Every structure is written in structure tokens, then in C-alpha cells.
Chain A
Amino acid sequence: MLAPSEILSRLERLLPTVQKPGRYTGGELNQVVKDWDSVKTRVALVFPDIYDLGMSNLGLAILYDLLNQCPEVLAERAFSPWVDMETAMRSIGLPLFSLESKHPLIDFDIVGFSLPYETLYTNTLNALDLAGIPLFSSDRTAKDPLVIAGGHAAFNPEPMHAFIDAFVIGEGEEVIHEIVSVHQAWREQKVNREDLLHSLAGIQGVYVPAFYRAHYNSDGTFSRMERLWEGAANPVIKRIVAQLPPPLTRFIVPYIDTVHNRIPIEIMRGCTRGCRFCHAGMITRPVRERPMDEIVNAVEQAIAQTGFEEIGLLSLSSSDYTQVVDLVQTVNQRFVGRHLSISLPSLRIETVSVDLMDAVMDERRSGFTLAPEAATERMRRIINKPVSTEQLMETARAIFSRGWPTLKLYFMIGHPSETMEDVQAVADLCKAVLAEGRKVLGGRATVHAGVSTFVPKPHTPFQWVPSETIENIRAKQGLLKRQMHTPGLKLTWTPPEETLLEAWLSRGDRRMAQVIFAAWQRGARFDAWKDGFNYQAWMDAFTETGLDPAFYTHRQRLPFETFPWEHISTTLRKKFLFDDYLRSQREETLDDCRQGCFACGILPAFAGVRRQHPGDIWKCPDVSPRPQMKAQDLTKSEALG
């Protein structure tokens, strides 16, 4: 393959001809460059979208830091080149390279993809192709890098099973080291690739698709997953870290503008609210908080190490962080006068949130965001986000009267059993909120409604429900566009085709791999981008492979149906999810599970871990001490999980 010096010299000729060349140069503050020959394992971490997006991904930054802390390992970054750069690279035969040392990706031992969402799948294929790595796992030999992937989308890995050698299910902080050591051990003997895959499959939370074969019923539905090797786990249980490690503070500081120019500090992981549409809320359980002093110290260190002007205190539901008021006050006192803005996303719809945001230093105070997700109380009961309209209005009033001129409201259309009245309610609610704002601020008040379309996700109580059809989405969006064409009201929505793509891929099975491949061959890439998304390429891909897109999206799945992702376990019991789905049909809500455990399945699965980490670290109840057992029984029961 090409030497880094040759890549660099070719790159230098291309850079003046492309947009934003700073995406491709590397060399930023806090990047880690190690001597290539001084380490045993070289890992390329790839975010399959452009630098501007990928550099804001916290997961990738964490893995980069963890791997580079190991003396025997180096980790470097790679991103998808934008369309102009891709054309330029292909025209002169420049392969995809790492930003740090400019090594071609094919020279690395392990290439790891971050797959937070499904619309990155074609970009993943494109990155492999640009790197000169065989696209199909089955075509790779011991000389090729090991291709792994992880992230939220990997909880249904099946559509990508043909392209990825091994998936990491769940949290990567610990398992990444296990993968590296398995790889090192294999390299020392280096028999064949099969051996590497066998040892990888032995790691908890690692899924090697090659050891499974999917079977289907005559009606096309999934029947079962056959294990081709008895050592392969079924199910593959996700990994969690018992306790969140201290947060990363030494972030790479890009020279160019990226989507989030901020220090992201994760204050807690998981969510106890149980919104039924929410994939993240189901797959990231249990809730684990970081101690407050750890967060505050991390902010201090990160400012000194990066100089960023914004801090994001991140979680799925920041209001639920036990010491949230204290945290905000402490951060405030400690960093006052330093011209920082602090963001605290995902606040609950209650006036306390306004107090919180009021206390947070934000010099700009431009917009306040709330996510009611649905506009009627009935619909909010169905999705289990029970907030009364009165509470929402009261919160909105508080927001405007404390001086925020813009209120951003997030909604989804296409929830199960949604009617046109529920959609009309979105417009009505926004107008009512705007009217409140006008009372306080006059013409300065604006409401921005971000209306996306619900996509049923695997491992959630809504995994059984059909997605909205394109005709219905258009009708509902049409209604909103007509009704919300009012001064002071701004409406944004997701193109229906994009929603369908996400829906096909979210609950796809192994056969979807052919569709992804065919769509990529027809030029599909940057599917998450308005100007990149090529709907026709996908429709043609379905036609070519003989699969019906509606089968994946518009079919009401049967209660007893086996799903193609059931061999991947979040540890939430299927019965728990189904009961919750039935509850939603009865418009019944489920409380915050900190008030009482609903036995989702996390605790029995991770009882051992919980027992070793009792108390406030988790928001799940404690488990009783293990009864006395003989050593022999102990191993047996551990094995049974």
C-alpha cells in the first residue's frame, strides 16, 4: 500500500481544490500521534460521516482516549470525505487514510466504525471501499484489518451483518481492551482468520455474525437464528460498565468549525422515564450517575486543556440527575466571569427546568428547548410521556417571562393510533404557546416547532407497530404546513423519504444487507444529508433484490412473532416490552421506575454487577446479598447468567 509520505504529497495537491480542506489535515491540539512501529496494535476509529459531525461524537472521543492510553496500542481517526473530496481522491487513487499519521486504513490491525444511526450504513460501505478493504466480511483474509462496529444502531446489527466482522453490543469502555488483547494473542500465532473470529465471539457483548444463520418462514417473516458453532452466544448480552469512569477531559480541539464546539460531559447514562418510542432510553439502562464533584473537576480540567467556550452537561434526561440544582449552582459559582456558556439539554417540561436554565450561565439566552413529543394528553399517555397541557403552558409562560424570546418545541407525528386531530393539535398547541409568548414579549416572541416522524425501533415497546405510510406522512405534514404558516411560528420537518429509509433499516433483517449493498452501488451515500439522499437508488435496490420495503415498515408485527434482532439482548424482557405496548393501547402510563421497579429485566441480568456496586450509583433498587453457595454452584449460576 501507499506510504504515508506519498499519501501526504498527493493530499497536498488535492487540498487547495476542495471545500473545507481543514477536514482532512489532522494536526489539531490534543491529537495523539504515536510511533507506528512502537506499538503492537493499531486501531483506526472511523465515524462514517464528515469530520464536522464526527468530531462531535463523544463515543469516538472516549475510545480514542482509552486506546491511546495503552502503551502498546495506537488509535487514529478517519472520517468520510465529502463528495468533492471523494471524487478527487478516487481520481488520483488516494485511499482513505488516518488523520494522524496518514496511513491508509488497510494498514491498520483493527478498523472500528461508529454506528450511532442507520443512515450511516451506505457511508460505511463507501469508507471500506475507499480504503480498499473487501466490502464483505466473507471476502476478507488474515491480511485484511479486522472490521468492527458499535453504537446504538448495532443493537440491530442484522442489516449490516455481511460487512462487519464483529459488532460490539453496548458500552465500549471495557470491551475495547478485551478485543485488542484477543487480537494481540491471535497475531502472535496467526493461524487463520476463523480463529480470530472464534476468540472474539468468546467475549461477552461481542457478536460475530458469521457464526449464525437466519431462517425465515414461508410468509417471509423471520423464523429463527441458527448457531453454526456451539461456542457462539445466543443471546449475545450487551455490555455495560458498572460505574461510569471519570469523564474525558482532553478533547481534540478542531481548527475548523464543527457541529458542536463544546466540551461534552456526560453527567449520567440511561433514563428511568420509559418513553415508549425511545430507543436510547431502553438500550442504555440502568441509570448510572457520575458524582457531582467529578463532573465539576472535569469541567475545570477540560477548559484548561481545550479552551472551548461551551460546556454541554449531557444525559437523556438532565432534570433527573439527583443533584441537578446543586450541580448547576456549583458550576455557576466556579466558572462565573469566564465567558462560558453551559448547555443542559433534555430538561423536563416543568417550571423547575426554567429555574435551572435561569441559573445556568448562558450569555446569549436565545432559545429554550422542550420536547413534548405529542400535542394531546391522550397521545402523550400512549407514548408514556405524561405531561399535562396546563403544565406545558405554565412552563412556556415561565420561559418567556424570564426573557427567552424563542421557544423550540419538538414533536413527532406518526405515533401509534395517531389521528388527524392529534396532528391538528400540534398546530393549535404551538399557536397557543405563541399567544402566551406574545402576551409577555409582544412581537419578539417566536415558536419554532421541529416535527419529525416517529420510526418504530427494535427493543422498544413499539417494535410491533407499523410505521406511518408516505401518503399519511405527507397528509399530516401538509396539514401542519397549512396551519402553521403564521408570523412568529417556524416549522421544520423531516422529509418522509428519509423517515422511510430509517424505518426499513431499523427493523431490517439479514436480507437488508443486499439492499444496502445495491443502493450503495447505485450511488447512495450521505443518506442523512438532504442533498445526499438518493431515494430512487433505494427503491431500485429493493426492486433488484426482490424485497418489499413495506414488509419492513408497514406491517403490524404479530405478538408471537420472533424478531430478527432477538439474539441480541438488551436484557429487557420481551414480555416487559409487550406488556408496556398493551398498556399504551389502553392509554395507561408507567411511572418513572425510580419510584418502583417494574422488573424490565436489567436487574436479574446484571444482579452480580449490582451486588458489587450497591447504593446510589445505580438508580435501580439494591439486590439482596447472594445466598451462601458452594464454589461449584457459583460458577454454574454465573454461567447461566
Chain B
Amino acid sequence: MRYTSHLDLHKTWERTIRRTGLPLVYSQGFNPRPKLQLASALPLGFTSDSEVLDAWFAETDLSITQILEAMQKAAPPGLQIHNVTEIDSTKPPLQTQVRSAEYVITLLESVPNLEVCLESRLSDSSLPRQRRGKPYDLRPLIETLSLLLPDEQGRSRIAMRLSAREAATGRPEEVLAALGISPESTRIHRSHLIFDE
């Protein structure tokens, strides 16, 4: 299911909730949309265990535990629901509170001098890159970048925390490219989303 796009994932959540029969709230107007907001879009091909979303429900007699159980039962393969919490509806949506995202990258092919390479990128004061024809500096978007212990199969792993604010989002493929690693020879996993306090 990591090849599900952001829009399609949104649809997957909507259908999961429709299967539960829970009273999801829809927007008013000509083309009513379900009130569901994912905190941060997950790029195609990434896996994640840190998906967080806001969903608006109408009044219901069900307890939080019952809602969680209903959602778990209705979830499709590949989507595991860990937790449901009730929040104050006056709070700002999650989307506006995301600060940074952490990724774990597994390298499917070995890369020589990986550690040296990481340190050298970190010591750079700027990393000029282009995305969709626009030049920008990748370096300030990298908050942390380090080597992890290899996985059970002995494959190297890199951890990174990148800024994830609106108009200041670091993309892990860009960091990999700056390291001289082809993103296609890696597995990218989003392990954590960090929100404003």
C-alpha cells in the first residue's frame, strides 16, 4: 500500500470510516467532502508508522475504545490503527502544527564510505539544489543526519530529521541525491512526525 498516493490514501481513510458506519462529518455545499485531514502527505513509495489525521465525527454514543475497535476492524490490509483520541475541536488542525519529520532509510545496495559522506554533507554550510526548476538550499532543512545500526539483513540504514513546515519541507530523496545515493535503491520509511508543542 506504499504505492498509494496522498489523494488515494485520503479516499482509503474515507472508505474505512464508511465501512464502520461511524458518523463522519461532511462539508456543506455543492460538492460535500468528508472532514478528514491528514497531518502530512506521505510521498508515493514511502512506508510510515506515523500517520496522524484529524477526523470530524457527529455526536456518537460510542466510546473512544469502541471507535478504535470499529476502525481497526474496517481497516484495509497495510493500514494499522494504533490509537484514537478525542480532541478539542477549537484546536488548530494538525496540518498547521507539523514541524519536522523523521525518516529511516534502508540501503538496498551497499555504499562505500557512507559515514564520511554523511559527515561531509553535514559540514557543508549550504547545499544548493533545484526542485521543479527552482533553486533552493537543502542544508537548513536537514535537522539531523546520522548512521543507524544495520538491519537484520545487514543492510546499512540512515536516520534523518527534516523540516516539514509549509514552504520549508525537506525531502529525503533530495538528501539521498545529495549523498550520491539513488533513491530507487533505498527504502524510505517515515518513522515519526514532530508537532509544535
Please tell me which one of the listed residues A16, A20, A27, A308 contacts residue B78 in the complex, with CB atoms under 8 A apart: A27
- A16-B183, A21-B3, A27-B77 known; A253+B8 contact, CB < 8 A: no
Closest chain B residue, CB of each to CB of A20: B3
Asked whether A15 lies within 8 Å of B19 as measured between CB atoms, the reply is no
Partner pick for B76 among A16, A29, A261, A364, CB 8 A cutoff: A29
- Which chain B residues lie closer than 8 Å to A545 at the CB level? none
Q: Please choose the segment from A118-126, A206-214, A299-307, A549-557 that sits at the chain B interface, where 4 or more of its residues have CB less than 8 A away.
A: A299-307
State A257–B78 Cα separation when bound (angstroms): 17
- CB contacts (< 8 Å) of A21 on chain B: these are 3, 44-45
CB distance from B9 to the nearest CB of A (A): 8
| Chain B residues in 8 Å Cβ range of A346 | none
Q: Does A28 contact B (CB under 8 A)?
A: yes
Chain B: minimal CB distance from A85 (Å): 12
What does DSSP make chain A's interface, helix, strand, loop or mixed?
loop
What is the minimal beta-carbon distance from A285 to any residue of chain B, in angstroms? 37
Of B3, B45, B184, the residue contacting A255 (CB under 8 A) is: B3
Chain A nearest CB from B117 CB (Å) reads: 22
Complex contact B45–A309 (CB within 8 A): no
Report yes or no: A306 in contact with B15, Cβ–Cβ below 8 A: yes
Whether A307 contacts B45 in the complex (CB less than 8 A), given A22-B4, A255-B1, A257-B8, comes out as no
Any B CB within 8 A of the CB of A25: yes
Cα–Cα distance between A627 and B37 once the two chains are bound (Å): 70
- A-B pairs with beta carbons under 8 Å apart, 7 shown: A13-B184, A21-B3, A27-B77, A255-B1, A255-B3, A257-B8, A303-B19
Look across to chain B and name the residue whose beta carbon is closest to the beta carbon of A339: B26
Bound-complex Cα distance A74 to B82 (A) = 33
Provide the bound-state CA to CA distance between A375 and B76, in Å: 48
| Contact residues, B82-98 vs A (CB, 8 A) | none
Q: Mark A286-316, 1 if CB is under 8 A from B, else 0.
A: 0000000000000000011111110000000
Query: In the assembly, what is the distance between CA of A124 and CA of B8, in Å?
Result: 29
Q: Which 3 A-B pairs have the closest CB atoms?
A: A307-B15, A29-B76, A307-B18
Task: Point out which of B74, B77, B78 has the most chain A C-beta atoms below 10 A from its C-beta.
Answer: B77
CB-defined contacts of A338 to chain B, threshold 8 Å? 18
Q: Which of B39-73 contact A (CB under 8 A)?
A: 44-45
A22: contacting residue among B8, B18, B24, B34, CB under 8 A: B8
Which residue, A255, A305, A308, A309, has most C-beta atoms of chain B within 10 A? A255
Q: Are B15 and A253 in contact (CB under 8 A)?
A: yes
Q: Does A17 contact B (CB under 8 A)?
A: yes
Task: Answer whether residue A421 sits at the interface, using C-beta atoms and an 8 A cutoff.
Answer: no
Q: Does A53 interact with chain B (Cβ within 8 Å)?
A: no
- The reply to whether B17 and A307 contact each other, CB–CB distance below 8 Å, is yes
In A222-280, the 8 Å CB interface with B consists of 253, 255-257, 261
Complex Cα gap A305–B74 (Å)? 8
Q: Is the CB of B77 within 8 A of A28?
A: yes
Would you call A307 and B4 a contact (CB within 8 A)? no
Structural contact, B76 and A255, CB atoms closer than 8 A = yes
C-alpha gap A484/B68 in the complex (Å): 56
Contacts of A390 on B, CB cut-off 8 Å?
A: none
- A307 lies within 8 A of B14 (CB): yes
Give the CA-CA distance A28 to B4 in the complex, in Å: 11
B8 touches A303 (CB 8 A): no
**Contacts of B184 on A, CB cut-off 8 Å?**
13, 16-17
Interface hits, B132-174 → A, CB 8 Å: none
* Shortest CB distance A141–B (Å): 37
Residues on B with beta carbons closer than 8 Å to the beta carbon of A22: 3-5, 8
CB pair A256–B45 under 8 Å, yes or no, is no
Contact with A along B12-25 (1 / 0, CB 8 A): 10111111010010
Q: Is A363 an interface residue (CB 8 A)?
A: yes
Smallest beta-carbon distance B149→chain A, Å: 23
Contacts of A363 in B (CB 8 A): 31-32
The winner among B3, B15, B18, B74 for most chain A CB atoms within 10 A is B3
Which residue of A has the minimal Cβ distance to B78?
Answer: A27
A388 → chain B closest CB, angstroms:
34
Across-interface contacts of A257 in B (CB, < 8 A): 7-8, 11
Distance of A15 Cα from B45 Cα, bound (Å): 9
Which residues from B are CB-within-8-Å of A306?
15, 19
> In the complex, what residue of chain A is closest to B77 when comparing beta carbons?
A27
Q: B7 CB to closest chain A CB, in angstroms?
A: 8
Select from chain B the residue with minimum beta-carbon distance to A254: B8
B19 touches A339 (CB 8 A): no
Q: What residues on B are CB-neighbors of A20 within 8 Å?
A: 3
Return B130 CB to nearest CB of chain A, in Å. 21
A17 to B24 alpha-carbon distance, docked (Å): 37
Q: State whether A307 touches B16 (Cβ < 8 A).
A: yes
How far, in Å, is B190 (CB) from chain A's closest CB?
16
Task: Give the one of B18, B31, B34 with max A CB within 10 A.
Answer: B18
**Chain A hits for B21, CB < 8 A:** 304
**Contact call B1/A27, Cβ cutoff below 8 A:** yes
Max count, chain A CB within 10 A of own CB: residue among B9, B15, B21: B15
